[in-house]
Structure 1
Amino acid sequence: MEAKSGTLSQADAEKLERIAFILKTVAHPLRLGIVHLLEQYPELSVSDICEKLGSEQSLTSHHLQNMRLKGILAVKRDGRSMLYSLKERDVSLIIECLENCQCNM
Structure 2
Amino acid sequence: MNKELFSFIRAIGEPKRMLILNHLKKECCVGELWKRLGMAQNLTSHHLRVLKQAKLIKSEKRGLKVVYELNQENINKNLKILEGYLKK
Q: TM-score, normalised by structure 2?
A: 0.73
- 1:46 equivalent in alignment to 2:46: no
> 1:21 offset after TM fit, Å?
4.0
The answer for unaligned runs of 5 or more in structure 2 is 81-88
Amino acid at match of 1:28: E
**Hey, what does 1:68 align to over in structure 2?**
52
For 1:65 and 1:18, how far apart are their aligned partners in 2? 15
Of the candidates 4, 10, 14, which is equivalent to residue 28 of structure 1? 14
The answer for unaligned runs of 5 or more in structure 1 is 1-12, 95-105
> 1:19 offset after TM fit, Å?
5.4
- Give % identity: 25
> 1:29 offset after TM fit, Å?
1.5
**Hey, what does 1:90 align to over in structure 2?**
76
RMSD: 2.3
List per-residue Cα deviations over 1:44-73 (Å, max 9, x = no partner): 100111111111100000110111122111
Q: TM-score, normalised by structure 1?
A: 0.62
Of the candidates 27, 40, 50, which is equivalent to residue 56 of structure 1? 40
Q: Greater Rg, structure 1 or structure 2?
A: 1
**Hey, what does 1:77 align to over in structure 2?**
61
More helix, by proportion: 2
